[in-house]
Amino acid sequence: MSDSQPSTTPSSAPGADLRPRVERLLSDILGLMGFPARLDFKEASDGSLAVALHFQSGPPPGVEIGKRSQVMDSLQFLLNKMLHRPGTERRFVLLGAGVHPEPRGERAKREPAPAAAPAPAAAPAPRAPAPAPARPAKAAAPAQAKATPAQGKAAAPAQAKAAPARAVESDERSLEVAEEPALRAAARALAEKSSSLGRVYALVTMKQEDRARVLKAVSDVPGLKVACEGEGRNRRVVFTPDKAAPLPKRSILPADDDEDDLEG
């Protein structure tokens, strides 16, 4: 058996094929962004791969040459997520605009630590104020009792003025609107169906003018009562037949047992 160990070549080292992948991904991303750049690679001191992006037609908005930015940090985060899959050996890639970025450890060694703020000098203790003369309790009680009814009387008109008056829904039958043939035909078809089958129907999410057109179109359909009910966005046109027929059993929805299944 030979004692010689296989030599490690640069091509078999971890992350040797990282540069082509980084160049391909970055070129595609920058091309889609509309800011193509020339890529300059450099081995960082901590083993990571530093890449300087030299933009061909100027940097993107928010990016300054030689400075960190949210755009470059986001691009760096996205690139590393695309390069490394869970469970595989990782080699971090650093991106810089026009320069090779320094690893975080090197940057921390070069920058001086912030000086601790000096402790504030102790302020002298304030002198205790002289005690104020106590007022008699009997004199304060009547004054407070007299002020309470006056405040209640003054607050009542203010509350009454603050409450806004609710707008009253106008009657659609009193509106003068132009007739629309398509809406008239659809409304009459639904009214005749409601009268013949004995079913109650309702038209919702309609403008006031359209509700008035429906009432006008079905006013002469026999065996049917049509009226507007509700307020605001919930106002609707309701078709109520004179002889309502019950739904057949096959049309009745079964009981909903979803809550019982969730509790189990």
With residues binned 3-state (H G I as helix, E B as strand, rest as coil), the percentages for the chain, rounded to 5, are: 40, 15, 45
CA distance 202 to 187: 11
Q: What is the DSSP string of 1-18?
A: ---PPPPPPGGGSTTTTH
Query: 228 and 263 in contact (C-beta within 8 Å)?
Result: no
CATH number for the domain formed by residue range(s) 173-249: 3.30.1370.50
Q: What are phi and psi of 193, to 5 degrees?
A: -65, -40
Domain boundaries, the chain: 15-109, 173-249
Distance from first CA to last CA of the chain, Å, rounded?
A: 66
Q: Evaluate if pTM is beyond 0.75.
A: no
**Averaged over 107-119, what is the pLDDT?**
63
pLDDT digits over 130-182, tens only?
666 666 555 444 445 454 555 555 555 555 555 555 555 678 888 889 989 99
CA distance 53 to 51: 6
